[in-house]
Structure 1
Amino acid sequence: MPSALPLGDPAPADGLLPASAVREAASRPFGVYLHVPFCRVRCGYCDFNTYTATELRGVSQSDYASHAQRETRFAAAALERSGIASRPVSTVFFGGGTPTMLPASDLAGMLGSVRDAWGLAPGAEVTTEANPDSVDAAYLQTLAAAGFTRVSFGMQSAVPHVLATLERTHDPERVPLVVEWARAAGLQVSLDLIYGTPGESLADWSLSLESAIACDPDHLSAYSLIVETGTKLARQIKSGAVALPDEDLQADMYELADARLAEAGYGWYEVSNWAKDEAHRSRHNLSYWQGHDWWGVGPGAHSHVGGVRWWNVKHPAAYAGRVLADESPAAGRETLDAETQRVERVLLTTRIRDGLPIAELTPAGRAAVAGLIADELVDAKAALRGSVRLTLRGRLLADAVVRRLLADA
């Protein structure tokens, strides 16, 4: 089942933000995330806030787009009442779940509500996630006509037995076809891969990489499989039915991915993400790592504006009840103090190729950089230019690097 929401302070029903969130808001980029919490089946490794048809209990999937549009209108009004002037949206991201389980017209309507509420900045990036078996050529053309610019396909693997372990239902041979359809519609394409699935060999992973590269996407993400507590996969591992992912093998897989993607012309820009060039990086995901503002629409969606973070109630029925009553669907929120924001900036910015300015570290953090260079975890030339940039070895040990940079925190 989906993971639990974090603890926090009560969130006001009117959605108003404190004065601290208003300061310098005009200078901060603004994005919108729209969560579509529906899946045809629940994959055994997934703990995202998603629901199959039998789990909806008293709410209809067909009504969801109108509920999301109501929250979007509520969001615009709440920001205005809080004293934050309207900012055009730089990035929009539809995630899930499987957003493309909804009709293309529903996604177009949800995007239209964002456009009506705030406007889209020139060149705005608009992305939806999709499963390869959830779209056809006409669907993708409808999205492009509505203003979508990117689609991110959940490929995960090209190897049938790996997909079966992950309980993914698509035919891997369909991936090149949907990529072709997306390109024909004028959409940029990203492919998502997962490595380290129990039973997956290095040869299996190599085949998946080669298959993904052969599709010539603009962007690739490769995430190591994480066994989340409470998932079916976690229970299978606990019972001994499935082996625990091998961390050493996962490290070998990451190194292979980085080498093959570099050979194919893709550069890493975040620990798990590669793009053909800067123009094809996921600007929406970068906005999270860079601490920008975003409003998260939908059940369980998280938001962040000016150091205030909040999260919505999880179940679609509870969510619908809130938005239909013109109340904030937020279940709780927290206001981040300066030290928490500093720690989070080190944690997130270190993962990006552009690097973390050394000047932002404490004296103890700055002193730790020399040791990190000696251990070949941080690039020496970048450090001389004033930033912490992870080496390949550093990317594999990113959490350890951050702990050393924050040792005095």
Structure 2
Amino acid sequence: MLPDGDPVPADGSLPPGVAETAGSRGFAVYVHVPFCASRCGYCDFNTYTASELGGGVSRDTYVDTVLAELQLGKSLINPKRVDTVFVGGGTPTLLSADDLGRILAAVDDAWGLSPDAEVTTEANPESVDAGYLRRLRSHGFNRISLGMQSASPAVLRILDRQHTAGRAPAAALEAREAGFEHVNLDLIYGTPGETADDFAASLAAVVGAGVDHVSAYALIVEDGTRMAGRMRRGEMPYPSDDVAADRYLAAEAALTAADFGWYEVSNWATSAAARCRHNLLYWTGADWWGLGPGAHSHVGGVRWWNVKHPSAYAKRLADGVSPGHAREVLSDEDRRMEDIMLRVRLREGIPLARVDAVGAKQALADGLLERSAYEDGNLILTLRGRLLADAVIRDVV
């Protein structure tokens, strides 16, 4: 379900004075591609298989629909430059490389890509091959994020993933050979049935793939998913917090030994240049326009989100109406709290003056935070603090 909010004007216009601030703290474009060949059991993202879509939208017409929203955005804001583009899903690489290239070219035409723009697409490992990756690189994509999740065939089956255990590292190598500057592999840990050895093998496979970025997230089981139903019926156990903590410690140890460094609680990179600049823009309060059904946007303290179903999204744009479902204007206090919640998770930490001093003092005493030696005494999470990051954030807010 989409959250409620204030109505979005039919023409999508922003409150007075907001459009002029667009991009003042950096500007990103997110493109949502809602198509999947099959649905994973744990997935509650806004994605659709062919049988779930219904009429009114298809892969063949989708790019033109997205470009219609982009033209609406061009008429409303002028951010001067686009620092990053991220195409997510769904499985964006179910579209042709040329279609993804059309979207990127249109973003450049509308708002202008920065000469050093980071341009990422997500991909399922089985949805790309060497030729596709070369074509994608020729269109200007320079970073790819592959959904590996696990190197264990048994774990992949539990997650309903379609690729084989070795396909993700092979695709990462093909991406490097195609000229991608940065390659990420995503892992999920804590899947029921996953052993410590399974996860160790996944980490070894990631390190051996020669990537420069790794994201690792604990499995979260959302209501309404097929996996949640199986757990409710007792067909498999719920994830264990203790196991998730053990897996996180294993990830930190293995990745640190391989010269990766954490820069956000769930993300590691081999260098500052390898960090995901797009996500950093989100985490540091920049502006972005989200294109596609269900996509969220933020400009100058105004956040809005599009209608969820691709058919409703396409109809709005065909009728010349903004696809925005609702929006909210963030107060100064909203923005302050969100800034704290996001920055505490970053390796650079946050100045003591920005947080609740009493809560911060207790977290320091408990060994959950420490003073940074290189960032003017910023508060940063310790390893134990990373395991309890949500609790630390509550304390310092």
The TM-score with structure 1 as length reference comes to: 0.94
The residue number in structure 2 matching 1:394 is: 385
Gaps of at least 5 residues in structure 2 are: none
The residue number in structure 1 matching 2:90 is: 97
Secondary structure at 1:210 match in 2: helix
Correspondent of 1:209 among 203, 228, 233: 203
The residue number in structure 2 matching 1:247 is: 241
Q: Residue 319 of structure 1 contacts residue 329 of structure 1 at CA under 8 Å; is this kept in 2?
A: yes
1:401, 1:304 → 2: CA distance? 26
Q: Residue 348 of structure 2 contacts residue 375 of structure 2 at CA under 8 Å; is this kept in 1?
A: no
Secondary structure at 1:265 match in 2: coil
What is the CA-CA distance between 1:383 and the residue it aligns to? 9.9
Relative distance call for 1:20 and 1:386 in structure 2 (3 A) is farther
Whichever residue aligns with residue 15 of structure 1, its letter is: G
Q: Residue 382 of structure 1 contacts residue 388 of structure 1 at CA under 8 Å; is this kept in 2?
A: no
- Note if 1:88 corresponds to 2:81: yes
2:290, 2:184 → 1: CA distance? 22
The residue number in structure 1 matching 2:376 is: 385
Number of corresponding residues: 395
1:175, 1:387 → 2: CA distance? 37
Secondary structure at 1:76 match in 2: helix
Measured against aligned partners, the alpha-carbon deviations of 1:125-180 in whole angstroms (never above 9, x if no partner) come to 00000011001111111111111010100000000010000000101212232112
Q: Residue 383 of structure 1 contacts residue 389 of structure 1 at CA under 8 Å; is this kept in 2?
A: no
1:381, 1:334 → 2: CA distance? 35
The residue number in structure 2 matching 1:48 is: 45
Q: Residue 20 of structure 1 contacts residue 306 of structure 1 at CA under 8 Å; is this kept in 2?
A: no
Correspondent of 2:311 among 284, 306, 317: 317
Q: Residue 382 of structure 1 contacts residue 389 of structure 1 at CA under 8 Å; is this kept in 2?
A: no
Relative distance call for 1:164 and 1:360 in structure 2 (3 A) is same
What is the CA-CA distance between 1:23 and the residue it aligns to? 5.7
When the two chains are superposed, the root-mean-square deviation of aligned CA atoms in Å is 1.3
2:336, 2:371 → 1: CA distance? 23
1:352, 1:295 → 2: CA distance? 23
Measured against aligned partners, the alpha-carbon deviations of 1:211-243 in whole angstroms (never above 9, x if no partner) come to 111101010000000011111111111110110
2:371, 2:122 → 1: CA distance? 37
Sequence identity (%): 54
What is the CA-CA distance between 1:266 and the residue it aligns to? 0.2
1:358, 1:156 → 2: CA distance? 36
Secondary structure at 2:186 match in 1: strand
Relative distance call for 1:173 and 1:381 in structure 2 (3 A) is closer
1:10-409 matches, cutoff 5 A:
10-22=7-19, 24-25=21-22, 27-58=24-55, 59-79=57-77, 85-187=78-180, 188-361=182-355, 365-382=356-373, 385-406=376-397
2:254, 2:221 → 1: CA distance? 26
Q: Residue 84 of structure 2 contacts residue 118 of structure 2 at CA under 8 Å; is this kept in 1?
A: yes
Gaps of at least 5 residues in structure 1 are: 80-84
What is the CA-CA distance between 1:20 and the residue it aligns to? 4.9
1:64, 1:384 → 2: CA distance? 45
Measured against aligned partners, the alpha-carbon deviations of 1:303-353 in whole angstroms (never above 9, x if no partner) come to 011110011011111010011222110100000011111111111111110
2:281, 2:359 → 1: CA distance? 27
1:11, 1:374 → 2: CA distance? 46
Q: Residue 67 of structure 1 contacts residue 323 of structure 1 at CA under 8 Å; is this kept in 2?
A: yes
Whichever residue aligns with residue 143 of structure 2, its letter is: R
Whichever residue aligns with residue 380 of structure 1, its letter is: R
What is the CA-CA distance between 1:21 and the residue it aligns to? 2.3
1:287, 1:326 → 2: CA distance? 30
The residue number in structure 2 matching 1:82 is: none
1:367, 1:245 → 2: CA distance? 33
1:211, 1:302 → 2: CA distance? 34
1:106, 1:47 → 2: CA distance? 26
Measured against aligned partners, the alpha-carbon deviations of 1:163-201 in whole angstroms (never above 9, x if no partner) come to 000000101212232112111111021000000001111
Q: Residue 151 of structure 2 contacts residue 201 of structure 2 at CA under 8 Å; is this kept in 1?
A: yes
1:231, 1:284 → 2: CA distance? 28
What is the CA-CA distance between 1:359 and the residue it aligns to? 1.9
